[in-house]
Amino acid sequence: MSKKLKFESFKFHFFRCAEILTDQLGVDERQHYLKFLMSLEIENLGQKAVINWEFPTSGRSAFEYRNLELYRRAVSSSRRDFCKNGGEYKDVVRDRNEELMLRYVSQIFMLSGLSKREKVERRDW
């Protein structure tokens, strides 16, 4: 069966952002998070990705794909996707997607009881 583009994109970027956040943790704490991430099950339900976890407390959460802006085509007439900020270009679409996904992963960590506060910081990956 062919893979679902938005679902697979969600999965990849969810785990990528999880890696960004867990890379900032100490060794022991990180191991705990990695065990959690390895155990996650993600289902594709309609226009949503549903994340299920069993520990530290069991739970589930759904994410609507439409919140992400994926496969953004070229804009020929202007550079509205690439704004200049302090002399440097920024990809507004990428930044928005990444910020949204980092926040979502951080919320999952809080909902599961792994963390008590939201941590969102962009890093290389």
Partner 1 sequence: MFSKRSVVSLAKASLFKNQPIYSQFYITARCNLTCEQCNIIFANSDVAECSIDEIKMIADNYAELGVAMVLLTGGEPFARKDLPEIVRAFESNGVHVRMQTNGFASEKQIVDVVEAGGRDISISLDSLNPSIQDSINGGFSQSWHRALEAVALFTKHLPKEASFASFGCVLQPSNLADVEDVIRFGTAISWYSSVVPIHVTSQIAPRGFRVFDPDFGWSESEQKLAFALVERIRLMRQDGYLLYDSDQYLDDIKRFISNEPTTWRRKNGGVCDSPNLYFALLPNGQVAPCCDFRLSDAPFAFAENFPSAFRSKSLKTKIQDIAKGCDGCMYGSYPEISISMRYLQAKIDRFRGFIAAPIEKNWPWTYDDLLTLAQDIRANREEETDVQKIKIREL
**From 49-57, 66-74, 110-118, span contacting partner 1 (CB under 8 A):** 66-74
The region of 43-51, 52-60, 65-73, 109-117 touching partner 1 under the rule CB under 8 A is 65-73
Backbone angles phi, psi at 37, to 5 degrees: -65, -40
State the DSSP H helix or E strand holding residue 125, giving kind and residue range, or none if neither: none
Should residue 45 be labelled a site residue for partner 1 when binding is judged by CB under 8 A?
A: no
> What angle, 0 to 180 degrees and rounded to 10, lies between the N-to-C axes of helices 5-22 and 92-111?
70
With contact defined as beta carbons under 8 Å apart, do 9 and 101 qualify? no
Give the footprint of partner 1 on this chain (CB under 8 A): 1-3, 5-6, 8-9, 11-13, 15-16, 18-19, 22, 34, 37-38, 40, 68-76, 79, 81-82, 88-89, 91-94, 97-98, 101, 122-125
